[in-house]
Amino acid sequence: MLKSALSNLTLETPTAFTINNASKKTIVLETTTSLKDTWLTPVFKPSVVAHRSANRFRHPWPIPKRGMTVAEWLINRRKAEWPTWEENSPVEKLPHARPDASINDWKIWFVGHATVLVQIGPYNFLTDPVWAMRASPAAFAGPKRVRPAGIALEDLPTIDAILLSHNHYDHLDKASLSWLYARDRMPIYSGLGNGHYIDAHMRVIELDWWESIYFHKDDRIKIVFTPAQHFSGRGIKDTNMALWGGLSILTPDDHLFFAGDTGYAHHFSEIRERLGAPRLALLPIGAYEPRAVMHAMHMNPTDAVQAHQDLQATKSFAIHHRTFQLTDEAMNQPLLDLAKALNRARLPAHSFATPSEGEMISA
Ligand code: ZN
Ligand code: ZN
């Protein structure tokens, strides 16, 4: 089956896998070098969107000013030492297809960074799939991962849809999208403009903030693109030209919320008001120091706990930490800070799951 699907391919699939595990399955892909993204100005069809002016998206609410410029930060940078490589702890279970599962039966698997396999009934959703060695436009430079993905690509069940939050390199990985599309031909749900960065063969369903669409396989399920306080761009000329955000999966009874990359703002309360309190919220807890620079665009664990409370989530699930060193905090600082923040908020530790790579929780 796989062989015949591959033989029909017309697009180039990544073949240079840099790291396999003992069973020869793919736990890291070579990064696709895509330097043209770094200097070309994308051309998008004009459309009237309330939160866009002069071809760039913007937040319709005030954004906190930085206390330090990015240049000042980079010149005086004091970043914590991270290990160059760590293996994941062995896991006992692997995901499998669940064609007969009830829509209320959820299994959520942490792959690593912002990549999560969300099994809702018989459907398999994958958030921001990144198996690439580097979060970068080049295979030879840029932030390098310090641990492999927790689930090999071959061990994923057939993916029904990808939820893509924005176009930053640690979220939009061309090598992973190509690999997955070659096998599963799944559509990608994302924000306006992100199709520009993805191979034309693939089907990208672009949504504006608050826009929703029925899931293509089951009209009991809706997918909503939600606001986030962040930015976008893969180069020097495309800042904020494609829309960033989070995604919600709404089933008849429940709500799964994937926050993408975001600073803390009022949008979490608004998401709860409009879409209901999530049964599970995937919330970023890493890439937050120094606060003077990162505060507006990345939450720290205290912010993430506040977001969990604003959402009134039954449970949250920590993402966006300990895979790529993007900022200055130590590798394990987000988990230590999260435990303290939960304690300060008098919340039990189990209200905010912190699975290791490859681990699953039933939510
Ligand atoms: Zn980002
Ligand atoms: Zn990120």
CA separation for the pair 248, 163 (Å, rounded): 9
DSSP 246-300: EEEEE-SS-EEEE--S-B--THHHHHHHHH---SEEEEE-----SHHHHTTTS--
Distance (Å) from CA 154 to ligand 2 centroid: 24
10 Å CB burial of residue 12 (0-12, 13-18, 19+) is exposed
Q: Report the pLDDT value the prediction gives residue 41, as an integer from 0 to 100.
A: 85
Over residues 1-51, the pLDDT tens digits come to 333 333 333 334 444 445 777 778 999 999 999 899 998 888 877 677 888
Q: How large a percentage of the chain has pLDDT more than 70?
A: 95
Instruction: Give backbone dihedrals phi and psi of 306, rounded to 5 degrees, phi first.
Output: -65, -40
Number of domains in the chain: 1
Distance (Å) from CA 232 to ligand 1 centroid: 7
Q: Does residue 61 sit within a domain?
A: no
Q: Does residue 72 sit within a domain?
A: no
Over residues 199-249, the pLDDT tens digits come to 999 999 999 999 999 999 999 999 999 999 999 999 999 999 999 999 999
Q: Report the pLDDT value the prediction gives residue 46, as an integer from 0 to 100.
A: 67
Q: Does residue 32 sit within a domain?
A: yes
Task: For residues 149-174, give the mean pLDDT.
Answer: 97
Indicate which CATH number applies to the domain containing 120: 3.60.15.10
10 Å CB burial of residue 314 (0-12, 13-18, 19+) is middle
Q: Which residues contact 98 (CB under 8 A, 6 or more apart)?
A: 105, 107, 119, 121, 122, 157
Distance (Å) from CA 103 to ligand 1 centroid: 31
Q: Does residue 54 sit within a domain?
A: no
CA separation for the pair 264, 260 (Å, rounded): 12
Distance (Å) from CA 173 to ligand 2 centroid: 12
Q: Report the pLDDT value the prediction gives residue 6, as an integer from 0 to 100.
A: 32
Q: Does residue 83 sit within a domain?
A: no
More confident residue, 39 or 335: 335
DSSP state at residue 36: G
Distance (Å) from CA 263 to ligand 1 centroid: 10
Residue type, 85: W
Is residue 226 within 8 A of residue 271, CB to CB? The reply is yes
Out of 1-10, 267-276, 280-289, pick the least confident. 1-10
Cα distances (angstroms) measured from residue 348 to each of 107, 278, 285, 340, 344? 21, 18, 17, 11, 10
Q: Report the pLDDT value the prediction gives residue 40, as an integer from 0 to 100.
A: 86
Q: Name the pLDDT band for 182 (thresholds 50, 70, 90).
A: very high
Q: Does residue 67 sit within a domain?
A: no
Q: What does the mean pLDDT of the chain come to?
A: 92
Distance (Å) from CA 213 to ligand 1 centroid: 24
Instruction: Give backbone dihedrals phi and psi of 362, rounded to 5 degrees, phi first.
Output: -90, 125
Q: Is 344 helix (H, G, I), strand (E, B) or coil?
A: helix
Q: Closest ligand to 242 CA? A: 1
Q: Does residue 107 sit within a domain?
A: yes
CA separation for the pair 334, 305 (Å, rounded): 12
Residue 290, preceding peptide bond in cis (omega within 30° of 0): yes
* Structural domain for 255, as ranges: 2-37+89-346+358-362
DSSP state at residue 145: B
Q: Does residue 166 sit within a domain?
A: yes
| Phi-psi region at 274: left, alpha or beta (left = phi > 0; alpha = psi -120 to 50) | alpha
Of 101, 94, 194, the closest CA to residue 151 belongs to 94
* 317: pLDDT strictly greater than 90: yes
